[in-house]
Amino acid sequence: MTKTNDRAWADFSADFRKNGLPKILGSNVTLSVLGNGEALDPKQCIELGAILLADKPLILVVQPGATIPSRLRRAADLVIEDWTPDNHDAQERLTAAITTLVGEIDD
């Protein structure tokens, strides 16, 4: 790694500790959107790791055409498949999933 890469990683890590991690730790339910791109998103990888390590409930929202890795499917509390932000039915399924998980937490 170069000094530039080291600095970029240090900046990213510091920002995640300051902004991302407190949001995850303060959430009753977490959500991760799985797109249909082939490349892994480092930010999403770190967020999912933190969600799992903090034992937070996870809703996995899966866009059409995306492949869900089997271990990620098992880790998710709920999976919403074929989700698109402009689809009313998909929004209702997501709202129901959040309501379900929040209700389970409150019980």
CA distance between the termini of the chain: 49
What is the model's pLDDT at position 102? Answer: 85
> Which sequence spans correspond to the domains of the chain?
28-106
What is the model's pLDDT at position 101? Answer: 87
What is the model's pLDDT at position 103? Answer: 83
What is the model's pLDDT at position 85? Answer: 87
pLDDT values of the chain reduced to their tens digit, one per residue, 107 residues = 567 778 888 999 999 999 999 999 999 999 999 988 778 889 999 999 999 999 999 999 999 999 999 999 999 999 999 999 899 999 999 999 889 888 877 66
Q: Would you say 97 and 80 are in contact if contact means Cβ atoms under 8 Å apart?
A: yes
